[in-house]
């Protein structure tokens, strides 16, 4: 199935097994703008798949209240950029309720915020904001890259019991892949998407696929890349990254988000503190994403760019404390 169908399948299974799971957001009744809710309102009715007004703060605020009252809401924000209209409800209410009330109330909510660059959609619809949410105590941040992970990680997010910022990528909805519904995924557990020996590439979301293409290019130049897909931004799998860095001694962290203050900086700082590995980052320039194709391409991370950075890193002298 494709990435959108995989998420829909996971949500349908959760709704069949637990009557407290509800969906609310714009256009969910007609299946969502990417087809990620296809058929759910017909199966479960308008009381559980709720079409809302165009008011992001209302949608998220209602979901926080639902969660505190014992429901398990899945919130549809259409794209992450629109969630900024509801940042108070997410950051000041959902993220902090469990702490501020001594665990007496938990916001078991999944906020689906499609993330990343969206072709031809310009600056206000092409942002990658995972680092914003990783910075907020109380939020879990997830970024699935494959249909299998979109199924397994959404199930894990629904079972989490805390507010989850669930960042499906805007351009992965049609990605096809095998999905084993019984295969479980764990939050905070990375996947080695490709084993390698020379350079570790740490990434997530759509850039996983870019990194795998880069690995094929680098292989032709005699450089073997190990590609790690974090899958969960917070908590992130420190052990997997540190173990790979110990094997290769060289790490490239690459992501679609702006490089300045991106989550790659947190990983790089951890590697600097914990290892002797030589570390580099590769992210987007600090510019708004352009509407025209040439300008948009300036913000894209390419297989050629990753491969070139890794080949250069492979031939750099080892770092020393």
Q: Which are the catalytic amino acids?
A: 125
**d(C-alpha 175, C-alpha 160), whole Å:** 26
DSSP designation for 199: E
178: phi > 0 → left, psi -120 to 50 → alpha, else beta; which?
beta
Beta strands 164-166; 140-142: pairing state: parallel
Cβ atoms 193, 149 nearer than 8 A: no
Alpha-helix residue ranges (DSSP H) falling in 230-302: 238-248, 263-274, 293-298
Q: How far from each other are the two terminal CA atoms of the chain, in whole angstroms? A: 48
Q: Which residue, 22, 25, 27, is CA-closest to 66?
A: 22
Cβ atoms 219, 201 nearer than 8 A: no
**d(C-alpha 274, C-alpha 20), whole Å:** 43
Q: Which residue, 231, 194, 197, 233, is CA-closest to 214?
A: 194
Q: Which residues pair with 250 in a beta bridge?
A: 278
Q: Which residue, 168, 141, 157, 19, is CA-closest to 79?
A: 168
Task: Provide the Cα torsion 187, 190, 193, 198; round to 10°.
Answer: 170
């Amino acid at each position: 199935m494709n990435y959108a169908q995989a998420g829909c399948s996971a949500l349908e299974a959760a709704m069949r097994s637990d009557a407290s799971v509800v969906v609310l957001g714009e256009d969910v009744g007609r299946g969502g703008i990417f087809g990620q809710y296809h058929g759910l309102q017909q199966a479960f009715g308008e009381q559980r798949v709720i079409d809302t007004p165009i008011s992001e703060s209302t949608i998220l605020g209602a979901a926080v209240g639902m969660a505190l009252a014992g429901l398990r809401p899945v919130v549809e924000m259409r794209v992450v950029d629109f969630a900024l209209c509801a940042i108070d409800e997410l950051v000041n209410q959902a993220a902090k309720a469990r702490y501020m009330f001594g665990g007496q109330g938990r916001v078991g909510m999944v906020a689906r915020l499609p993330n990343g660059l969206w072709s031809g959609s310009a600056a206000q619809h092409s942002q990658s904001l995972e680092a914003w949410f990783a910075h907020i105590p109380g939020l879990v941040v997830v970024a699935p890259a494959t249909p299998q992970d979109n199924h397994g990680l959404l199930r894990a997010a629904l079972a989490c019991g805390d507010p989850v910022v669930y960042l499906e990528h805007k351009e992965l909805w049609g990605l096809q892949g095998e999905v084993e519904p019984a295969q479980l995924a764990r939050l905070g557990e990375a996947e080695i998407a490709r084993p390698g020996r020379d350079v570790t590439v740490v990434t997530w979301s759509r850039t996983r696929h870019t990194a795998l293409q880069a690995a094929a290019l680098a292989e032709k130049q005699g450089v073997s890349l190990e590609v790690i897909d974090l899958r969960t931004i917070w908590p992130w799998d420190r052990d997997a990254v540190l173990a790979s860095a110990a094997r290769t001694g060289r790490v490239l962290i690459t992501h679609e988000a702006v490089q300045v203050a991106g989550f790659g900086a947190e990983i790089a700082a951890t590697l600097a503190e914990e290892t002797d590995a030589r570390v580099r980052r590769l992210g987007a320039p600090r510019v708004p994403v352009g509407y025209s194709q040439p300008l948009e391409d300036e913000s894209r991370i390419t297989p050629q760019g990753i491969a070139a950075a890794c080949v250069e890193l492979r031939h750099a002298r080892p770092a020393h404390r």
